[in-house]
A and B are shown apart, each in its own frame.
Chain A
């Protein structure tokens, strides 16, 4: 609760009237009363001419201890947090550079990309046509982040073209209050790019008897956790990096190894695009489009029998007799689960 502010002035009730009544002309009855018992009033007035709430037997409600301490802090040492530092540095409690919550050392405010860094990524992808994987490895920025940066830069360009104003002062202020990285050559890696998800099957300890002579590798370990568990090598987001390291280990020139890496990433991107396209093509092949001046009708071959044992299978199409729709029922969540 915010601290209450109490005015130090007098309550505007009877008291304001009293001195006048004593002197001359408030109301006759009051004047009579005051003349009959003048002393108490007079003394009270003379003792504290500014505020005479010694009539009230209730103690004034001041701040309690906690509120007082809070106000003292806000007016004193808390003042340094009122404005940003102005030096392009964060301004966290206790003078920390990366810990916004003083008692939780396990959450850190990690640097974000500067506007220049985002431009670098955008130009690498859109102007120089580098594959996402290569850009990610080059700047040590997660592939998903690279994609997001490019996507939002595209929107930015659209805004610029249509004359929609940016939130420039806001952006500048925020960038001045955050830890920032510019993706320069002498900066540390921005973020780990080779994270692999820890599968819940691999969070247990497994006792697996193996022959002493067996060469038990990561692949065998994955098998031991479960048939469908992939070894770490296959879960890597940029497996080409392992090959790059192997090439360097074999003594191939770094420039050549890098060239090979770039080629490999380009190839993998092409292959990914080809599979996506094939998938879209398959979907398109199932449809028949009929153009009729105003509308385009799309027909698709559907198996009406594939509705599951209760007629409510996820992929089922159409309304089925006797199976009520639940989509408007009370208690059923209507919030969409995805937006595409």
Chain B
């Protein structure tokens, strides 16, 4: 019992909080005085609802007016004007089961038998707060983190920066969170260089062992590929087809996108670019413009040179987004990639063929996936992005919000309401606990 009382539920996606949610038991209320019950209920519910907000602040927000709605059925309203409810002796005609005409008309059918859980709406005003709404829209992994995002200026309301986590959203307000912050909050942790060293040291022996094993497997794989190469005959022709694809006039669009991205980097106020990097950025932009001009003039250029240039520019641009330390890391990765490419070249010289249709398709798909979720050292989270662990049991979006995850924006449609059988305030507590908490804040008796 005491252990249960100490078990605090919080607005966070932490795995310990998940265990608490799992192990939380309904509190037996009978053994204590009414005051004790109310106190315990208040303490437990406040631990979850706006634990980071001072009690006095919440007392000002609390409202005894609990909002609810009734779903009216247009068919019922078209057929009846309500007078049938006062028919007979004043409370509707008696229903005789053998006479279907006497069946009472009810708005909404069998659903209307359920009670409206008003008491679960106790903490509805809290859901209006900007930080809580950001958490509910799944843009932050805890209410406290959401609050930090607001304070640090990563949240906009109706297009304007809003730095107050206590801003009460009005119905129709749209809030946007910086996508990078959202990906940071909901993604896996980036492995720090220190942690990497540690794992590298401890796993060095393991890696050596694995290398020895892999060498054997590699030889086997090479022989398999050789066999496959003898089967495909029209390899060279397909290689030419690939060149044709590269020659398509989609390049201008790619260049335009590149230019836009370069401008975006240059214009972003948070990027404190050094003079050197600014210069490099200008060069890239200039090159892109020149290339676009050339493409416009002579479309009969060699396809491969064009493709290479676009690739080079993209690479140059992505480097500009990195800090010097990260650049070094990226360069190292590039060396590795080059080494791999060399290896492949030697393999190709040995007689590895060009790609088949299916292989090319798979390659294109994987490239598209890579473009969508790239490996990017400049990001503060692990890339390619993956959802953080123990996130899925917390993922739900209440109906008073409409969220667009692509742009990390959400609209606060209306205040949360209670309806028959449902209350829209996401609370982990049962009805009775909420009722006791509501009674505490009524401040009567």
Contacts and interface: CB of A to CB of B under 8 A. Distances in A.
Contact of A218 (B71, B81, B256): B81
B430 A93 contact: no
A81 B407 CA distance: 27
B269 to A, nearest CB: 15
A215 B427 CA distance: 44
B405 A192 contact: no
Interface stretch (B237-245, B286-294, B358-366, B387-395): B387-395
A108 interface: yes
A339 B160 contact: yes
A81 B16 CA distance: 12
B174 A249 contact: no
A85 interface: yes
Interface in B406-426: 406-409, 411, 413-414, 417, 419, 421-426
A145 B264 contact: no
Contacts of A90: 392, 395-396
A177 B394 CA distance: 9
Of B68, B179, B372, the most chain A CB neighbours within 10 A belong to: B179
A335 B164 contact: yes
Interface in B323-358: none
Interface string A265-302: 00000000000000000000000000000000000000
Of B162, B396, B417, the most chain A CB neighbours within 10 A belong to: B396
Contacts of B423: 106-107
B234 interface: no
A-B residue pairs, 5 tightest by C-beta: A163-B260, A245-B78, A171-B405, A109-B396, A218-B82
B413 A336 contact: no
Interface in B66-93: 67-75, 77-79, 81-83, 86
Given A66-B3, A103-B430, A244-B74, A83 B372 contact: no
A221 interface: yes
B21 A241 contact: no
A81 B165 CA distance: 30
Interface stretch (B22-30, B216-224, B275-283, B297-305): B22-30
B408 A167 contact: yes
A219 to B, nearest CB: 8
Interface stretch (A15-23, A43-51, A151-159): A151-159
Of A73, A101, A106, A196, the most chain B CB neighbours within 10 A belong to: A106
A169 B74 contact: no
B441 interface: no
B52 interface: no
11 contacts: A70-B19, A90-B395, A93-B393, A103-B24, A104-B430, A148-B172, A152-B407, A156-B404, A166-B179, A171-B406, A243-B78
B125 interface: no
Contacts of B141: none
Given A84-B391, A167-B179, A236-B72, A339 B157 contact: yes
B29 to A, nearest CB: 14
B75 A73 contact: no
Contact of A221 (B82, B373, B405, B413): B82
A66 B73 CA distance: 51
Contact of B120 (A74, A104, A244): A104
B15 interface: yes
A112 B397 contact: yes
B104 to A, nearest CB: 16
Contacts of A174: 138, 387, 395, 405
Interface of B: 3, 7, 15-16, 18-19, 21-26, 65, 67-75, 77-79, 81-83, 86, 117, 120, 138, 157-158, 160, 162, 164, 166-168, 170-174, 176, 179, 182-183, 186-187, 256-257, 260-261, 264, 372-373, 384-387, 389-399, 402-409, 411, 413-414, 417, 419, 421-431
B172 A144 contact: yes
Nearest to B415: A197
A73 B372 contact: no
Nearest to B396: A109
Contacts, number: 253
A67 to B, nearest CB: 10
A195 interface: yes
B443 to A, nearest CB: 19
Nearest to A238: B74
Contacts of A197: 67-69, 417
A56 interface: no
A246 interface: yes
Contact of B182 (A170, A177, A242): A170
A243 B79 CA distance: 10
Contact of A107 (B81, B164, B409, B422): B422
Contacts of B74: 194, 236, 238, 241-242, 244-245
A340 B158 contact: yes
A10 interface: no
A85 B182 CA distance: 22
Contacts of A104: 120, 427-431
Contacts of A178: 395-397
Contacts of A142: 413
Contacts of B19: 70, 73-74, 78
Contact of B79 (A92, A167, A241, A245): A245
A263 interface: no
A192 B71 CA distance: 6
A167 B15 contact: no
B403 A151 contact: no
B182 A78 contact: no
A152 B392 contact: no
A90 to B, nearest CB: 7
Given A81-B390, A163-B261, A168 B83 contact: no
A311 interface: no
Contacts of B73: 194
B392 to A, nearest CB: 4
B71 A162 contact: no
Nearest to A221: B82
Contacts of B167: 335-336, 339
